[in-house]
């Protein structure tokens, strides 16, 4: 994992366009734009916060900063899986909100040119994951590219607000 971080740091100087951090959830590989990623840490103790949707696992202490963590697996309505040493928290910074994303494992940083990205299939065809904004091809593999802001979208915040009222 540390190589990945080094790679990220090297990239900061470089243009970040078209660079994605890829990670695995089950058998699928996902990618998020590197510009959102601030840090990758090992899974650590999570403090539960009551009355939140199940995919928000709680909050963690990131060197004195308290950030919420989302289980991406649960967010995609997949079955829960016990965390292990491969489990990582990808800390992303989206519109000034820091959030940790819990993923099964982090794989690599890769470039995907726009030519290699196709739009996701229509929802009508049975493809239901609304957090995917495109599908990228890297060699033979397919990476599902996430729309980060949708992942934390307001729609959920609203439902959160309702729960707490």
Binding to other proteins in span 70-129, by CB under 8 A: 97-99
Candidates 1-9, 23-31, 61-69, 114-122; binding stretch for other proteins (CB under 8 A): 61-69
Q: Does 61 bind other proteins (CB under 8 A)?
A: yes
Q: Compute CA 12 distance to the chain's CA centroid, rounded to the nearest angstrom.
A: 19
Please, which residues have CB within 8 angstroms of residue 144's CB and are 6 or more apart in sequence?
28, 29, 30, 31, 120, 129, 132, 135
- Among 18, 19, 30, 157, smallest CA distance to 102 is for 30
User: What is the rounded end-to-end Cα distance, in angstroms, of the chain?
Assistant: 41
Q: Closest distance between other proteins and the C-beta of residue 134, in Å?
A: 25
Q: Compute CA 142 distance to the chain's CA centroid, rounded to the nearest angstrom.
A: 16
What x-and-dash track marks residues 5-44 binding other proteins by CB under 8 A?
----------------------------------------
Task: Give the residues lining the site for other proteins (CB under 8 A).
Answer: 45, 47-52, 56, 59-61, 63-68, 97-99, 152, 157, 160-161, 164
């Amino acid at each position: 994992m540390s190589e990945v971080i080094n790679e990220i740091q090297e990239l900061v100087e470089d243009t970040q366009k078209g660079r994605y951090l890829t990670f695995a959830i089950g058998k699928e590989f996902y990618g998020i734009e590197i510009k959102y990623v601030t840090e990758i840490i090992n899974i650590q103790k999570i403090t539960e916060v009551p009355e939140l949707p199940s995919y928000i696992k709680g909050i963690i202490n990131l060197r004195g900063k308290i950030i919420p963590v989302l289980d991406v697996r649960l967010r995609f309505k997949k079955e829960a899986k016990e965390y292990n040493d491969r489990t990582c928290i990808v800390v992303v910074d989206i519109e000034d909100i820091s959030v940790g994303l819990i993923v099964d494992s982090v794989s690599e940083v890769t470039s995907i040119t726009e030519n290699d990205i196709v739009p996701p299939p229509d929802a009508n065809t049975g493809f239901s994951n609304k957090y995917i904004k495109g599908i990228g091809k890297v060699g033979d593999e397919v990476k599902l590219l996430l729309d980060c802001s949708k992942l934390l979208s307001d729609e959920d915040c609203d439902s959160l607000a309702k729960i707490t009222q």
